[in-house]
Chains A and B, each alone.
Chain A
């Protein structure tokens, strides 16, 4: 081993290189990340989740949800589509023109060109930007996940295995807290072929008192407890559901742009 010191230096250099590219550089680049503005809006993103939902993150962690669920939406492409918003004063000319144009699955330049032709003919058109990819086709999100999404997560529950669906946007897909509770207590009662184990220890089965509990689950017959008993969620279940409902990645950001249809946040809640 006459070159022992040289070999040590080389090994140390390799370790130093991977440490600086995987730890130091990302820390320098994203360590100071702050809230950013939502595209075309005065809203900021992300907003810290409420306390109950933050505690729910720890319940999510404790129950190992990340073993079967990811929280990262992938995006493989981006397309534009041109939408005719007004036919203008010569509707027949514009509609004849539109019939000859390709309006979907365009690149940005093609879309601008098509919109320009429609405007030149007297109509009005706008260009929508749409994220594409297998995850987005499944309805798991409207755009890819970016670093910004995890700003207030401690620890970040990225996950790497998808036995169940991705949960990055589950608060938008499944906004009903009751559905979430039923799904945790008896997954098969709401999703027929669910592979998820029931998390019954997050609930309490107890004798119905003088008056039934207001938050007792309304279960289907085959999942319901014995007569005279009711299933009530423990605080952990409520926290976990609050966390799940806080998972939203449905706002357009500079890093991951898309055209948000229905931009109005004033729409009445469902």
Chain B
């Protein structure tokens, strides 16, 4: 080999000569760098603090958030219920004595149709009525009028399906129809008015 360093003479410091980086080493290194960057792209999540394996990217994580179906609707309903309705009716749906009647097992909530029930949050209610065989004489403002159709439908679906209640779901289109029929109507509901309309 011509480029091999000459053996040093006695008493001299060993030295290294310079030589070029062999081409194959460069190719191997660049290939490793390329494969490494592909691996990084698939597995790093770009160091997002919310992205853990098995999710590769924030977009993939977003994709797997549960969103469809009745579970999500009821969950959204629960969220709205607990922030607005639960203050008086209780997060457990049992109502509060002297404040609001129970919703769990209430004949108004678990009725076959949701027409009368939907009128209560949309228009408010006042005057005497009975719930679970107990007389109540209170007033409730139109708490649901400010909610979107979908949110109110989710709330009604939630209260009709929670705490042992097993009544059907309410859709946003149902609420839309009832809201339209109440346009221009400013009076709160009473027991007689509710009983006069279909269930």
Contact = CB atoms under 8 A, between A and B. Distances in A.
A129 B64 contact: yes
Given A30-B49, A266-B93, A115 B68 contact: yes
Interface of A: 25, 29-30, 39-42, 75-78, 80, 83, 85, 108, 112, 115, 124-129, 144, 146-147, 252, 254-261, 263-264, 266
Interface of B: 47, 49-55, 61, 63-66, 68-72, 74-76, 78-79, 82-83, 92-93, 162-163
Contacts of A258: 66
Nearest to B163: A266
Contact of A42 (B50, B72, B78): B78
A129 B93 CA distance: 29
Contacts of A80: 64
A29 B93 CA distance: 40
A126 B54 contact: no
A23 to B, nearest CB: 15
The 6 residue pairs across chains A and B that have the minimum distance between CB atoms: A126-B69, A40-B75, A259-B66, A29-B49, A255-B50, A42-B79
A75 to B, nearest CB: 6
A85 B47 CA distance: 38
B74 A263 contact: yes
A254 B83 contact: no
A242 to B, nearest CB: 25
A267 to B, nearest CB: 10
A40 B93 contact: no
Contacts of B78: 40-42, 263
A125 B71 CA distance: 11
Given A144-B52, A254-B50, A263-B71, A128 B66 contact: yes
B66 A129 contact: yes
Contacts of A112: 68
A147 B54 CA distance: 15
20 contacts: A29-B47, A40-B71, A40-B76, A41-B79, A42-B78, A75-B52, A75-B53, A85-B69, A112-B68, A115-B68, A124-B70, A127-B69, A129-B65, A144-B52, A252-B66, A255-B50, A255-B52, A256-B52, A261-B71, A264-B162
